[in-house]
Amino acid sequence: MGTITLKQAAAWCGGTVQEKYAQVSFFGACNDSRNIREGQLFVALQGQRDGHEFIPAALKGGAAAVLCSRCEGDYPAIVVEDTRKALGDIARQERLRMGMKVVGVTGSVGKSTTKEMIAAVLGSTFAVRKTPANHNNDIGMPMAVLGMPEDTQVAVLEMGMNHFREIAYLSAIAKPDVAVIVNIGTMHIEHLGSQEGILEAKLEILEGMSRGTIVLNGDDALLKQVHKRPDIAKVYFGSEDPRCDVRGSNIDANAQGLSLTVESAAGSFPVQLSLEGKHFVSDALAAVAVGLEMGVSPDNIAKSLGAFRNMDGRQEMLSVNGYTIIKDCYNAGPESMAAALAVLGSKPGRRIAVLGDMLELGDCAAAEHYRVGRIAAENAQLVLAYGPNSGRVMSGAVTGGMSESHTMAFEDRDALVAALKRLAKPGDVLLFKGSHGMHMELALEGFLGKEE
């Protein structure tokens, strides 16, 4: 396990440290005093609360040292002007020191699942580490890098963003050898103006690359137009365009899972996944493309994807109290909402869509929620919508042919849960989905009687 001394970290980020603490070392970093682990660096960030308030608790919890902008006691500390920037600087230098290969993953929809699939495929051949859960921003990704053991051969790093220049910042830290753009959707269009703006923001991932390969979705109209830097190779994956370097064919999606045939320069081989829905095809093909690019054998790729299980909260299939529940509460945008509703529509029995708002859609919000309502009407017998845009979902469902008595709009979660308890019956299939900020997992817990 590699450790970093305060003297070394201070040199990397332009900070200062008292000489008596210069040789104190840490492994990993954390910005939450409640979750600090023995030997980590506590990062005092300025958020809704000033992180400096929690330094005593972090030290008591086992922090080896503190990264701060002011020192209010006698303890091991690196003092800097900007703790966020210093965290990134330290992570950038540690990534270079370790010398592992880095795969950077971004996209509008499915990037977390793709990151997990890539890590699974590469894990069959290399010592792989990845960004955990939602550690894909300017705080989480650097902390993930600092927590990677010395034996890491490949780091798979997810990169998220809401605004321009955020991916550029992450790419400058990660310096990817392979970059993956899963797709260009409409999430975060509120801040980026258009899909072309979203494409521009995603392509910032190239800025941290000096060489390597970019892996792109060849079925995405905008990604087909990506310019080619002469020092960066370009590999396309997809199932619609026959010119793709890694192609999926013979696709079959059913209740038993997803099967397809992969065709590439390495030959043709079958892949079977325990996932429902054709929307997972592009995620799997991206993982195949990265695996082949990095020398993983087709046999190991197929075995890894066959054993793959998705992360908690991402289209989990649950059987509870006689109900079949599709728990897809992690996040939502128009594309992923349509895909989840298609999975719901493939299920036998009475189907209930419990849909939270999709956030950060800006001027597109009204139209996209209305469109989701129409799609829901095609795939469910009952639609319960929750959030400020729930009325638009309800209107879309009615326009799509659903009776007004079978669709409802709620702005109060407790009222939603109460209605669901009254209407749902054992044997029903329920989809719970919405943007992360809508916390649809709480609606599910309330329905199952697990609320606090």
The SS3 assignment for 212 reads: strand
Q: Are residues 65 and 106 in the same domain?
A: no
Burial 243-259 (b: 16+ CB within 10 A, else e): ebbbbbeeeebeeeebe
The CA distances from residue 430 to 129, 277, 353, 450, in Å, are 34, 16, 6, 17
Residue 94 lies in a domain: no
Q: Give tens-digit pLDDT for 75-97.
A: 999 999 999 999 999 999 999 99
Containing 200, the helix (H) or strand (E) segment is helix 195-202
| Residues 278, 323 within the same domain | no
Same domain, 172 and 218: yes
Q: Is 205 exposed, middle or buried (0-12, 13-18, 19+ CB in 10 A)?
A: buried
Mean pLDDT, all residues of the chain:
93
* CATH number of the CATH domain containing 78: 3.40.1390.10
pLDDT at residue 452, rounded to an integer:
38
What is the pLDDT confidence band of residue 451, given thresholds at 50, 70 and 90? very low
Domain C-terminal end among 306, 328, 362: 306
Closest CA to 183 of 212, 140, 223, 156: 223
pLDDT of residue 71: 93
- Is the pLDDT at 311 greater than 80? The verdict is no
Question: CATH number of the domain that 276 lies in?
Answer: 3.40.1190.10
Q: Is the pLDDT of residue 190 over 70?
A: no
**pLDDT reading at 336 higher than 70:** yes
Name the most confidently modeled range: 179-193, 259-273, 303-317.
Answer: 259-273
Alpha-helical regions (H) of 139-186: 140-146, 166-174
Mean pLDDT of the region 361-381: 94
Q: Give the max Cα distance, the chain.
A: 74
With pLDDT > 90 as the criterion, what percentage of the chain qualifies? 82
Check whether residue 195 and residue 322 sit in a common domain: no
Does residue 223 fall inside a structural domain? yes
Is 192 inside any structural domain? yes
β pairing state of 407-410 and 429-433:
unpaired
Judge if 34 and 152 occupy the same domain. Answer: no
321 and 302 belong to one structural domain: no
Residue 69 CA, chain-centre distance (Å), reads 30
User: pLDDT of 218-260, one tens digit each?
Assistant: 999 999 888 768 889 999 999 999 999 999 999 998 777 899 9
Within 10 angstroms of residue 418's Cβ, the number of other Cβ atoms is 14
Contacts 24+ apart (CB under 8 A), 373-377: 373/397, 373/398, 373/399, 373/400, 373/407, 374/399, 374/400, 375/337, 375/338, 375/341, 375/400, 376/341, 376/400, 376/402, 376/407, 377/401, 377/402, 377/407
Q: What is the CATH number of the domain that holds 339?
A: 3.90.190.20
Q: 123 and 73 in one domain?
A: no
Strands 351-356 and 382-386 turn out to be parallel
Distance CA 86, CA 10 (A): 9
Residue with tokens 């093909």: 285
Domain that holds residue 368: 316-447
Final residue belonging to a domain, choices 255, 275, 306? 306
Tell me: do 185 and 334 sit in the same domain. Answer: no
Structural domain count of the chain: 3
Cα distance between residue 60 and residue 203, in whole Å: 43
Domain identity same for 77 and 116: no
* Structural domain includes residue 429: yes
pLDDT band at 1 (very low <50, low <70, confident <90, very high): low
Answer yes or no: do 44 and 126 share one domain: no
- In this structure, are 296 and 323 located in the same domain? no
Interatomic CA distance for residues 378 and 12, integer angstroms: 56
For residues 285-297, average pLDDT: 98
Rounded-to-integer distance, Cα 436 and Cα 356, Å: 9
Question: What are 400-444's pLDDT values in tens digits?
Answer: 999 999 999 999 999 999 999 999 999 999 999 999 899 999 999
- 58 falls within a domain: yes
Residue 418 located in a structural domain: yes
Q: What would the pLDDT profile of 198-209 be if each residue is shown by its tens digit?
A: 899 999 999 999
Q: What is the DSSP letter of 296?
A: -
Q: Which two tokens stand for residue 183?
A: 């797709």
User: Residue 315's pLDDT band (boundaries 50, 70, 90)?
Assistant: confident
Give the 3-state DSSP-derived string for 66-103, with helices as H, strands as E and coil as C. EEECCCCCCCCEEECCCHHHHHHHHHHHHHHHHCCEEE
- Please state the φ and ψ torsions of residue 92, each to the nearest 5 degrees: -60, -45
End-to-end CA distance of the chain: 39
* Domain boundary, last residue among 49, 82, 115: 82
**Do 205 and 147 sit in the same domain of this protein?**
yes
Q: Do the domain assignments include residue 452?
A: no
* Amino acid in position 42: F
Residue 89 lies inside a defined structural domain of this protein: no
Helices 111-122, 298-306: axis angle to 10 degrees equals: 130
What are phi and psi for residue 5, nearest 5 degrees? Answer: -80, 155
Q: At a CB cut-off of 8 Å and minimum separation 6, what does 107 contact? A: 114, 180, 181, 182, 183, 184, 185, 202, 217
- Say which range, 210-214, 254-258, 269-273, 335-339, has the weakest mean pLDDT: 254-258
Residue-wise pLDDT for 147-182, tens only, equals 999 999 999 999 998 889 999 999 999 999 999 999
* 246 vs 193, higher pLDDT: 246
- Check if the beta carbon of residue 97 is closer than 8 Å to that of residue 124: no
